[in-house]
Amino acid sequence: MKVFLLLIACSLFNGIAVADVTLIFNMPAGPDQVREVNYRIKNHTLRIDQANSKQYKLYDNTQQAFINIDENTGNISRIDGDYLNSRVATLNQQRLEKLAVVEQQLKDKLNSKPAEEKRIAEELLNQLKYPEFYGAHTFLKVETTKQTRRINKIQCHVYNLTRNDEILKQLCMASQEALKLSDIDYATLRGFYHFNYIFQTQLRIAMGKTDFIQVDYEKENMAGIPIEILHISDKNQKSELSLNRIQHNILDQVLFNSQNLAK
């Protein structure tokens, strides 16, 4: 009877991801070149690396910390909320100091100009002073489509990222169930994508560079994990990411150990 119950339990677990997971993506590495990038996940930690490389990255979802490690040089850098806030504050200050000089010069030149020119100049200055409210990224929209695709036998749902009705990207999101991800692995990946979005966009906005086309999956309520991302330009499609394969097996904890993740 005990053996029978054990067999039933094992059969139930066959459809559920109980092991660790590795997602291997194809990403561009130059003109007509593709590289394989590994996303390995174990116990709330994501490791990103390439085969035969001495450089890798670790993201700990429990600490919201991102570590870049170069074994060749021994260099290790850590990015977390405190680092981001400090860096954003510095970049904002530098940008506003430069703008103050430009603003005074512009006001001096516009003293004798018509009111309409002054209004246009004021709008331009507002865009430069407050990029988070007036930048090009504020015109980005995510459109849900009825399209689905199969990437290496895994079904995903297509979303369009547009700006002023022009499609800039197509993202195909696969569900947690389709990828057979555990709750922890799924949460870790989603946490990484959100962390990376905040880090990349906040730094760009602080520098006044808002012409980025990145998506916050949480804000846009886009469930799942991107397994294909296409950049659309002049009716051409260029792959930014495509899932090559996925593996469910136990990963060595040594791959994820780093004292540098601890504060």
* Sequence spans of domains, the chain: 20-83+135-261
Residue 113's pLDDT band, with cuts at 50, 70 and 90, is: confident
Contacts 24+ apart (CB under 8 A), 111-118: none
Q: Which CATH code for domain 20-83+135-261?
A: 2.50.20.10
Joined together, the tokens standing for residue 91 give 């970049």
Neighbours of 39 (CB within 10 A): 21
Residue 83's pLDDT band, with cuts at 50, 70 and 90, is: very high
Quote the DSSP letter at residue 19: S
CB 260 within 8 A of CB 76: yes
Tell me the β-bridge partners of 142: 161
Average pLDDT, the chain: 88
The pairing of strands 33-42 and 21-30 is: antiparallel
Joined together, the tokens standing for residue 166 give 């022009």
Single-letter residue type at 82: D
What is the rounded distance in angstroms from the CA atom of residue 98 to the CA atom of residue 43?
45
Instruction: State the pLDDT at residue 51.
Output: 84
Region 91-114: mean pLDDT is 83
pTM, entire model: 0.84
